[in-house]
Amino acid sequence: LPAGGVAAARLCTLGVGGYARVRKQFKVPIASMEGVQEKLANIGAITFQVSAAQAMFNAVLANGEKPPVLSAIMKHECTELGRIATNEGMDVVGGAGISLGPSNFLAPCYVNTPVSITVEGANALTRSLIIFGQGLTRSHPHLLHLIKAIQDGDNMDGFNSELKSVIAHAVTNLGRSVSRGLAVQFQFKGSDVSAY
């Protein structure tokens, strides 16, 4: 699915960019019009982003890693950016993008975009459950251990120990937040004491 988003962005960059140079309105190529240039710049920036993300993720996979959260982020971001690039491309090609036929290079991409966004969980579901849920579980210093203690079944000692660690971590973060917030309020910056 991320590769589909990358392909959509690249298709828009090459196809829509070329179309804008060839298509003329008022005897001027539409690529020289500022509104069209804005759309082409957005498409080019998106293509650069998703191509860089694809290269980075391919390197991660080549190292033998299997990151679930990064994979979900790639699915979410590449399909969303592919949708934006496709919509920007449709804005540029206009009626030529709506008229179906063998010469229409963008309509199949436009039709398939919603499929890539909803397959394997809609992007809203991917974002809220997988990215945030898995990201929180994996990045928290004690939460994954707490979940493993729950999965062990009758391991009350392990559960209680991990629960104490989670609570202690939360209290420590709260104390640090309050103390640092108060410390910033009473620091004098420069000679202007009246500002505080």
Instruction: Mark whether 120 is an active-site residue.
Output: yes
**Which residue is it, tokens 């917030």?**
181
- Among residues 80, 88, 120, 162, the one annotated as catalytic is 120
Q: Which two tokens stand for residue 83?
A: 């949708």
Alpha helices in the chain (DSSP H): 2-11, 17-22, 34-62, 68-93, 95-98, 107-118, 123-125, 135-139, 143-151, 156-185
> How many angstroms separate the CA atoms of 136 and 132, rounded?
6
- Show which residues are catalytic: 120
